[in-house]
Amino acid sequence: MSDTRVRCPRCSQAWLLRIRLVPLEQDAVFCPECEALWLAGEDIALGTFRDYSTYVMERGRVEPQASGEYLVRGPFTNER
């Protein structure tokens, strides 16, 4: 069985995760190493990303690293 997880195209240091931004009620893809964030439907291969902490703080979250801010749903894979 081949590994279908996707390594972060920004830092290449970690595997991407599927997450739920709980207070914002949004699905996203997240790199736990460099905090790159892609919202659902955005093309990760394009290389554009948002900074997780900046994104959630701009939306009123004051403690982006607090427990419960996001829920890890599992690894992001290149399988559809």
Is 8 domain-assigned? no
Per the structure, how many domains does the chain have?
1
Is 4 domain-assigned? no
- How does strand 50-51 pair with strand 17-21? unpaired
pLDDT digits (tens, 9 = 90+) for 38-68: 998 888 988 889 999 999 999 999 999 899 9
Is 9 domain-assigned? no
Is 65 domain-assigned? yes
Q: How far is CA 49 from the centre of its chain?
A: 9
Is 10 domain-assigned? no
Is 6 domain-assigned? no
As a whole number, the mean pLDDT across the chain is 92
Is 11 domain-assigned? no
> 40: domain range?
17-75
